[in-house]
C-alpha cells in the first residue's frame, strides 16, 4: 500500500473513531457503537483495499487448506 493510500486509510479510521466516541458520549448503546465501527471499517476496506493484506490472507488460507488435506490422508 502506498503512502497516500495508507494516509487516507488512517484518516478514515480516525473519523470512524471520532464518530464512535461521539456516539458513545451521546448515550448510544454499546451494540450500536460496535455496529457502526464494524460497518465503517467494512466500507473503508471497500473504498481503500489493502492488496498486501489480501495476499497474505489468501496465502494463509491456502496453507490451511493444504494442511487439512495432509491430515486427512
DSSP assignment of 4-71 equals: HHHHHHHHHHHHHHHHHHHHHHTT--HHHHHHHHHHHHHHHHHHS--HHHHHHHHHHHHHHHHHHHHH
Domain count, the chain: 1
**Cβ-contact 36, 19 below 8 angstroms:** yes
The pTM assigned to this predicted structure is 0.72
Q: Dump pLDDT digits (tens) for 28-73.
A: 999 999 999 999 999 999 998 888 888 999 999 999 999 988 776 6
Q: How far apart are CA 65 and CA 37, in angstroms?
A: 31
Range of the domain at 59: 3-72
Amino acid at each position: 500500500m502506498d503512502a497516500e493510500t495508507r494516509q487516507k486509510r488512517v484518516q478514515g479510521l480516525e473519523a470512524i473513531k471520532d464518530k464512535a466516541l461521539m456516539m458513545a458520549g451521546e448515550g448510544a448503546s454499546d451494540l450500536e457503537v460496535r455496529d457502526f465501527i464494524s460497518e465503517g471499517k467494512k466500507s473503508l476496506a471497500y473504498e481503500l483495499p489493502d492488496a498486501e493484506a489480501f495476499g497474505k490472507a489468501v496465502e494463509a488460507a491456502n496453507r490451511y487448506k493444504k494442511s487439512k488435506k495432509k491430515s486427512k490422508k
